[in-house]
Structure 1
Amino acid sequence: MSAMPAKEAAGRWRPARRVAAVGLPWAWPAYLSVLGQLIYVVEKGYYATQGRLGIPGGPLVSAPQNAGTSDVALTQWTLALLGLFSAALALAAVRPWGGLVPRPLLLTGLWATGALAAVSQIHVIREVLSGTGGWSPWAAVQGSVGLCLWMAMAWIFTRRPGRTATAAANTGRDAE
Structure 2
Amino acid sequence: MGERSPRSAGVEARWVVVTVAIMVDRAYPRRWPAYAMAVLFLGYALGKAVFAVQSRLGFPGGPPVSAAEAEGYFLDPAVAQWTAAATGVLGASLALATVTSLGRWLPRGVMLLALAGMLLAVGGGALIMILDGFVGLGVGWQWHHGVLGIVVIGLLLATIRSYETATRRRVAG
TM-score range, shorter chain: 0.7 to 0.9
CA distance in 2, matches of 1:39, 1:137: 20
Higher relative contact order (CA 8 A, sep 6+): 1
Of 67, 85, 96, 1:63 maps to 67
For the pair 1:32 / 2:69, whether they are aligned, the reply is no
Q: 1:143 Cα deviation (Å)?
A: 2.1
Q: Say which one has the larger Rg.
A: 2
For the pair 1:123 / 2:160, whether they are aligned, the reply is no
| Structure 1 equivalent of residue 141 of structure 2 | 135
For the pair 1:148 / 2:164, whether they are aligned, the reply is no
Q: 1:57 Cα deviation (Å)?
A: 3.4
| Structure 1 equivalent of residue 105 of structure 2 | 100
| Structure 1 equivalent of residue 55 of structure 2 | 51
CA distance in 2, matches of 1:136, 1:105: 36
Preserved contact between residue 57 and residue 138 of structure 1 (Cα < 8 Å): no
Of 65, 89, 93, 2:94 maps to 89
CA distance in 2, matches of 1:156, 1:149: 10
Report the number of matched residues.
140
Q: 1:37 Cα deviation (Å)?
A: 0.5
Q: Deviations over 1:97-135 (max 9, x none)?
A: 223321100011112211222222222222122333311
Q: 1:92 Cα deviation (Å)?
A: 0.7
For the pair 1:41 / 2:45, whether they are aligned, the reply is yes
The alignment's C-alpha RMSD in Å is 1.9
Identical-residue share of aligned pairs (%): 35
Unaligned residue ranges in structure 1 (runs of 5+): 1-24, 164-176
Q: TM-score, normalised by structure 1?
A: 0.73
